[in-house]
Amino acid sequence: MIKLNSFEKEIVPKVKEEHKKLTDDLINVKYEKGENRIVTELGSIKLSLISGTFTQKNYELKPNYQRRITWDERKRSKLIESFIMNVPVPPVFIYETEFNKYQVMDGLQRITAIIDFYNDKYELKGLEQWSELNGRTYSSLPQKVREGIDRRQISVVTLLKESSKTVEQEEEMKKMVFERLNTGGVKLVDQEIRNALYSGNFNDLCIDLSADKIFKTLWNINISNESMEDIDIDDDFITDNSLEFTQNFLYRRMSDVEIVLRYFAMRHVEEYNINLSKFLDYCLRAGNEYSEKELQILKNEFLNIIKKCYIIFGEKAFCQYTTIRGKQQWSAPQKMIYDCMMLALTQIELNDDNKLDVKANTEKLKLFYLKNQDSFNGKKQSKQDIITRTELLTKFINEEIGLQK
């Protein structure tokens, strides 16, 4: 559909995984051998010893796969109140990367909340059962309360190095654990898992590109330190009055990084015959094999296309003019529009002779979407649907906006 660079090989493996049918006897043998079994070590640490333990050199508190979600003082305070009341707290998960060297897989927010509380970095806020302690730091708590907190422990589950013998097994084991972790009631989303499993130069590039100013403008991403409750958001259409909430959500759950990755994956849309999440996995794994020179080429291409989107259509580049709750209006940026707009502009070059009027272009784009509502239906997400939308947009941009291939 688009001309790939010579180094952009096929990303989806040719060989499909075969699932062997085993008899009960063979299943029992497999189980006894300990196949697909994680080796763990259970323990607990007194809260007063957390800082001294996790600040040692053999503990990596924040590996590059840690989540962007941060707790505000109220959530941190609720954790401390749980310890005061001796309410069970989810365990911390750590992974042994080398002998006696560890990474925190899950529980960073709990660990930092405890360390910062002991260092008087925040006051308790929003406590309900112990409201009389609101406004207190650790050192200003009554002696008996401090001593009670010092007695409390947090459970630690260590995934030992013995759990995996090869890099492939380690990757599979980590994925299995991440998919099952539920951090403080917030389950890891696909991109957070992907970021944990496939760290590398291409993954770093996607993170880097997600911070581009024009990209953030087109997706209305406004990074804020304010905490936000995690809720489900309708991914099809988001009206302007909920846009501010969405901006934070995209950043906090690494959706902005996944959006960047989508472009590089959709360049291979002809291979898109599998689940989207798996397709993105394959793209990221393949991209991590590219050289620095090849990654620089992809980076320049991405930034060039994002710039074209903004120059031609302004902030409506990834929005759709459609009917939302009975009223025709512009939607918030959509992944469906982003996919085909980016692919369309990959094939179109701007030159000095192009006279671009963003306001006039968006008016034409509005009519285009109204005319092609059936094709730009969020429920149509097959390979052919993406190709059809891209072809329609490419034709429209060339003929109506007046750009030439």
322 Cβ contact list (under 8 Å, min separation 6): 237, 328, 329, 331, 369, 370, 373, 376
Q: 102-138 b/e with 16+ CB inside 10 Å = b?
A: bbbbbbbbbbbbbbbbbeeebebbebeeeeebeebeb
Is the Cβ–Cβ distance between 79 and 89 less than 8 Å? yes
For helices 335-346 and 292-313, angle between their N-to-C axes, nearest 10 degrees:
110
In terms of pTM, does the model score above 0.75?
no
21 Cβ contact list (under 8 Å, min separation 6): none
C-alpha R_g of the chain: 25
For the record, the structure tokens of 151 come out as 């007695």
For the record, the structure tokens of 222 come out as 């406004």
pLDDT for residue 160 = 82
3 exposure class (CB count in 10 Å sphere: 0-12, 13-18, 19+):
exposed
pLDDT for residue 378 = 78
Is the Cβ–Cβ distance between 220 and 247 less than 8 Å? yes
Query: How many CB atoms sit inside 10 A of residue 313's CB?
Result: 22
Instruction: Specify the DSSP class assigned to residue 347.
Output: S
**Which residue shows structure tokens 């305070």?**
77
pLDDT for residue 240 = 40
The tens-digit pLDDT sequence of the chain (405 residues) is 678 998 998 888 875 555 567 888 877 777 666 655 677 789 999 999 999 999 888 888 765 555 666 788 999 999 999 999 999 999 998 888 788 888 888 888 899 999 999 999 999 999 999 999 999 999 999 999 999 999 999 999 988 876 666 666 666 677 677 766 655 555 667 787 787 777 789 999 999 999 999 999 999 887 544 433 333 333 333 334 344 444 466 777 788 999 999 999 999 999 998 899 999 999 999 999 999 999 999 999 999 999 999 999 999 999 999 999 999 999 999 999 999 999 999 988 876 555 678 999 999 999 999 999 999 987 888 999 999 999 999 999 998 887 654
pLDDT for residue 13 = 83
The amino acid at residue 119 is: N
User: CA torsion 119→121→123→129, rounded to 10°?
Assistant: -50
pLDDT for residue 67 = 60
215 Cβ contact list (under 8 Å, min separation 6): 209, 221, 256, 260, 306
Work out whether the CA dihedral 120, 76, 59, 208 comes out positive or negative. negative
pLDDT for residue 251 = 73
Q: How far is CA 73 from CA 6, 263, 357, in A?
A: 51, 37, 47
Is the Cβ–Cβ distance between 105 and 93 less than 8 Å? yes
